[in-house]
Copies of this chain bind each other. A is one copy, B any other.
Amino acid sequence: VRELRIQTERKTQLLELAENLRPLLEGLEGSLVTLFVPHTTAGLVLQAAGPGATAVAGDLESAFERLVDEGWSWEHVHEGDANPWSHVRTALTASSISIPFVEGRLALGDHQAVFLAEFDGPRERSIYVTVTQ
C-alpha cells in the first residue's frame, strides 16, 4: 500500500488530487487502482476537472453543508469536539473508489478528477493507493 499525505486548509473543502497522485502511480503494475480514505470525516468524490472546476467544487461544498445541517438536533454534539454532521456528510461520499488503470494512467473521463472531500478540516489526511491485477 502506498500512502499520499495531504494537508487540507478549510473546514469543508473539495481538494483535487491530480498532481499529488501522479508520483504514487509510478511503476505500479495492474489493471485497477483503488483509493481508500482511512478517516471518518473525509471521503472521496470524482468531479469536474479543468476550467470551472473551482466553482463546481464550491457548489459541492455548499450543497453538502446544506444537505446535512449543523442546526439539526444531534445526540453526539454534547461531547467535546463532536461534529456528527461531518460524519454524515462523509457517509454520503465514498470511502473507496476503484478506477481502471491503463498503460500507467487512471482511466478517468476527460472532465473527471479525483477530489478529497474534507468535512472537518483543516487536517493532515491520508489516502491509501492499492493496485490489483
Chain A residues packing against B (C-beta within 8 Å): 1, 30-32, 34, 36, 38-40, 45-48, 52, 55-56, 58-60, 62-64, 66-68, 72, 74-76, 79, 82, 84-85, 87-88, 90-100, 102, 107-112, 117, 126, 128, 130-133
A44 to B36, CA, bound (A): 14
**Contact of A36 with B76 in the complex, beta carbons under 8 Å:** no
Contact among B56, B75, B88 for A55, CB-based, below 8 A: B75
Distance (Å) between the CB of A96 and the closest chain B CB?
Answer: 4
**Contact of A91 with B88 in the complex, beta carbons under 8 Å:** no
Give how many copies assemble into the complex. Answer: 3
Knowing A45-B91, A88-B63, A130-B31, say if A55 contacts B79 (CB, 8 Å): yes
List the B residue with the shortest CB-CB distance to A14: B91
